[in-house]
Amino acid sequence: MIYCNSNPCPASSALPVSRASCLASMQKILPRFHRPAVVALTASMVLCGCRQQQADAEADGDPDFQSAPQSEPPDYKLPTPTPTNNMHTESWQQITSTLGTTLSQLKDKDVEVSELEFFDPAPAAEIDELEREMGIKLPESFRQFLAITGGFRFDWFTESSPIDHIEYGGNAEVDFLRGAEELTLAEAYREFQEHYDGFEVEDEAQVALVRRCFPLYLTDGAGNALAVRLDTDPLQIHLLKSWSCWHVSSGSADEEKSLVGLGLAEFLLHWASLGGPATENLLELVEEFGEQTLDANSAGGRAIREWLASPN
């Protein structure tokens, strides 16, 4: 559910006005939204009630309305999709809404935030080309994801964060998913693999694992990559460190860890709710959280979310 937290509330008691006000508010936050993304968010705005409408509904005992937390207390649990291979419009709307809310919170802290820009979905022919290039059948959920969005771009930076590894975030160096807006999916995959070949890894099992990965974030300034492994259920998200020659962990206790997420929709929602931490910091955050993957509901994750929601 998307909440309108404008103060004072811009909407009247009529739902169409509320929806329009919420959309206008989001457009201020996301000034360069591509139209497909705006249309998708508009559909989700039907579920949005401003504070007054929400209070009226709660007073009437409407079970479909829940109070939006004004600041996230320690016991507030982030609603997440289940860690499966499902990625559908509703999940994507929740992710984009969370990104918008988080960046709005950062702006309220006078943090330097760039525009959040979404790219058009990939054409079906381009998705088919990627499947041929990889030589595997793409999971249906990943095909759905590519058909919903072509990726996004934003970044932020602050010198006043009280939390380690949360001084900057987003994906300023390289666009999320497409590598660069002008690349096709197959071209992004080839560039990813060519970069990996430069490590001259001789372990055939490791090479085979990387061949089944697609770059969500091609490479950052340090040569690290964020990739989704497409032969697992749920999909696995791995942070490939340059110093480990992009080692992909397979689950052994004695090997270098690379796993940061299970389920593409779940990972993106947790990542977005934490401000989109910089790629190179993801493994450190997972380790500090004491979890197997990036978890916004862990004690460390709640601390970050409370800082984001706190007054400037």
* End residue of a domain, out of 29, 63, 97: 63
Least confident span in 173-182, 207-216, 253-262: 173-182
Higher pLDDT, 290 or 84: 290
Q: Mark whether 272 and 147 lie in a shared domain.
A: yes
Environment class of residue 113 by beta-carbon count within 10 Å: exposed (0-12), middle (13-18) or buried (19+)? buried
Nearest residue to 308 (alpha-carbon basis) of 111, 112, 155, 172: 111
Higher pLDDT, 115 or 202: 202
Q: Mark whether 58 and 106 lie in a shared domain.
A: no
Q: Mark whether 7 and 135 lie in a shared domain.
A: no
Residue 174: pLDDT band with limits 50, 70, 90: low
Q: Mark whether 128 and 29 lie in a shared domain.
A: no
Q: Is the confidence at residue 41, as pLDDT, over 90?
A: no
Residue 73 falls within a domain, yes or no? no
Q: Is the confidence at residue 24, as pLDDT, over 60?
A: no
Q: Mark whether 182 and 293 lie in a shared domain.
A: yes
Q: Mark whether 137 and 232 lie in a shared domain.
A: yes
Describe the chain by its helix, strand, coil percentages, rounded to 5: 40, 10, 45
Say if residues 229 and 134 touch (Cβ distance below 8 Å). no
pLDDT tens track for 220-263: 667 888 999 999 989 999 999 999 999 999 877 778 889 999 99
Residue 306: pLDDT band with limits 50, 70, 90: very high
**What integer pLDDT is reported at residue 227 of this predicted model?**
94
**What integer pLDDT is reported at residue 4 of this predicted model?**
34
Percent residues over pLDDT 70 in the chain = 68
Q: Mark whether 51 and 124 lie in a shared domain.
A: no
Q: Mark whether 130 and 256 lie in a shared domain.
A: yes
Domain that holds residue 227: 88-309
Q: Is the confidence at residue 23, as pLDDT, over 90?
A: no
pTM greater than 0.75: no
Say if residues 294 and 286 touch (Cβ distance below 8 Å). yes
Q: Mark whether 17 and 158 lie in a shared domain.
A: no
pLDDT tens track for 85-142: 456 677 888 888 998 999 999 888 878 888 888 888 889 999 999 999 999 999 988 9
Q: Is the confidence at residue 189, as pLDDT, over 90?
A: yes
**What integer pLDDT is reported at residue 152 of this predicted model?**
84
Q: How far is CA 69 from the centre of its chain?
A: 21
Q: At what angle do helices 89-108 and 140-148 cross, to 10 degrees?
A: 50
Q: Mark whether 191 and 132 lie in a shared domain.
A: yes
- Sequential DSSP letters for 131-191: HHHHTSPPPHHHHHHHHH---EE-EEE-S--SSTT-SEEE-SSSBBTTBSTTS-HHHHHHH
Tally of structural domains, the chain = 2
Q: Mark whether 106 and 43 lie in a shared domain.
A: no
What does the chain come to in residues?
312
Mean pLDDT of 67-82: 39
Q: Mark whether 103 and 54 lie in a shared domain.
A: no
Residue 194 falls within a domain, yes or no? yes
Tell me, what DSSP letter sits at residue 227?
Answer: E
CATH number of the domain at 230, please. Answer: 3.40.1580.10
Residue 279 falls within a domain, yes or no? yes
* End residue of a domain, out of 63, 80, 115: 63
